[in-house]
C-alpha cells in the first residue's frame, strides 16, 4: 500500500494526490473540494487555520508540473468529513492511525552527541537565516575548527600505544650494546616524552585527530636522541663508580 502519511520539515502530512487515490476520487475533484473548504474557512474567519493546516505544493508528471495540496491531520479530517461510505470510513481510520504513529515518532527523544548537536544547531541557523551564503561559510569554517580541535578517541589512542610499543621493542632488539645502560622502561618513557614535546601536548591522548597520521609517522621513525643516550650512559657509569 502507498505510504499514507509522511514527515516533511518536522510535520506529519498527507497530500491531495494520496487522498484522491485512496478514496477512489479524481484529483481534480479533490482539489475542488479542498478549495471549497478553504473558501468556507475564510468566510468563517478561520484563515489562520487554513494557513497552518493547508499548504500549496506541486508534483511532476511526464515533464509537466501540477498543483497539489499538503494537509495536516486536522485538515485531512475536515476535508474527508463528508466521505461516509464503509470503505471510506476504513481508510479514514487508517489515515488517522498513521498520523498518530508518525507523530509519536517525531516525539521520541533521541540523544545527540556534542558534535551532532553543534551541526544540528548550525543547520537550523542556515534554514532560518536570510543571509544563507554568508552563514554557510561561517558554518563550514566552524566545522573545520571543531574537527581540528577534536582529540584522539579511545581506538586511536590504542593505535598510538601499539605503535610506540612496537617501535621500542624494535629499537631494543637492534641495539643490544645499549642494554647495559638502558632499560625498556626508560625507552618507553622517553618515547612518550618526545612525542608530547613534538606535538606540544600534556598527554598523547590530547593529540588532535587531524594529527593522528603525523603522530604514527613520528613513532614509526622514533629513536632516542644521542644526547639523551649519552646522559643515561654517563649516569649509569657514575652509579657504578
Q: What is the pLDDT of residue 28?
A: 96
Q: What are phi and psi of 3, to 5 degrees?
A: -65, 120
Q: What are phi and psi of 78, to 5 degrees?
A: -65, -45
Which is higher by pLDDT, 154 or 143?
Answer: 154
Locus of grid cell 643516550: 229
Q: Residue 171's CB: how many other CB atoms inside 10 A?
A: 17
Mean pLDDT across the chain: 85
Order the strands of the 11-15 sheet from edge to edge: 6-8, 11-15, 64-71, 54-61
Q: Any idea which of 25-34, 49-58, 129-138 has the lowest mean pLDDT?
A: 129-138
Given a cut of 80, whether residue 139 has pLDDT beyond it is: no
Q: What is the pLDDT of residue 44?
A: 94
Please check whether residue 160 is in contact with residue 215, taking contact to mean a CB–CB distance below 8 angstroms: yes
In the chain, the DSSP E strands lie at: 6-8, 11-15, 54-61, 64-71
Q: How far apart are alpha carbons 185 and 195 in whole angstroms?
A: 16
Please check whether residue 209 is in contact with residue 152, taking contact to mean a CB–CB distance below 8 angstroms: yes
Amino acid at each position: 500500500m502507498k505510504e499514507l502519511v509522511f514527515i516533511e520539515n518536522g510535520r506529519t502530512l498527507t497530500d491531495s494526490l494520496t487522498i484522491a487515490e485512496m478514496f477512489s476520487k479524481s484529483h481534480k475533484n479533490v482539489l475542488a473540494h479542498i478549495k471549497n473548504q478553504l473558501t468556507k474557512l475564510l468566510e468563517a474567519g478561520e484563515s489562520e487555520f487554513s494557513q497552518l493546516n493547508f499548504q500549496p505544493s506541486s508534483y511532476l508528471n511526464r515533464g509537466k508540473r501540477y498543483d497539489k495540496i499538503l494537509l495536516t491531520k486536522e485538515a485531512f479530517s475536515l476535508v474527508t468529513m463528508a466521505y461516509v461510505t464503509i470503505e471510506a470510513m476504513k481508510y479514514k481510520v487508517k489515515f488517522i492511525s498513521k498520523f498518530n504513529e508518525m507523530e509519536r515518532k517525531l516525539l521520541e527523544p533521541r540523544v545527540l552527541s556534542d558534535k551532532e548537536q553543534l551541526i544540528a544547531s548550525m543547520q537550523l541557523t542556515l534554514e532560518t537565516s536570510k543571509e544563507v551564503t554568508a552563514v554557510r561559510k561561517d558554518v563550514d569554517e566552524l566545522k573545520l575548527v571543531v574537527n581540528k580541535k577534536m582529540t584522539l578517541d579511545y581506538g586511536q589512542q590504542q593505535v598510538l600505544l601499539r605503535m610506540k610499543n612496537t617501535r621500542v621493542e624494535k629499537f631494543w632488539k637492534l641495539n643490544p650494546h645499549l642494554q647495559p645502560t638502558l632499560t625498556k622502561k626508560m625507552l618507553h618513557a622517553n618515547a612518550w616524552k618526545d612525542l608530547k614535546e613534538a606535538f606540544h601536548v600534556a598527554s598523547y591522548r590530547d593529540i588532535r585527530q587531524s594529527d593522528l597520521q603525523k603522530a604514527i609517522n613520528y613513532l614509526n621513525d622514533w629513536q632516542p636522541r644521542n644526547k639523551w643516550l649519552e646522559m643515561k650512559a654517563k649516569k649509569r657509569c657514575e652509579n657504578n663508580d
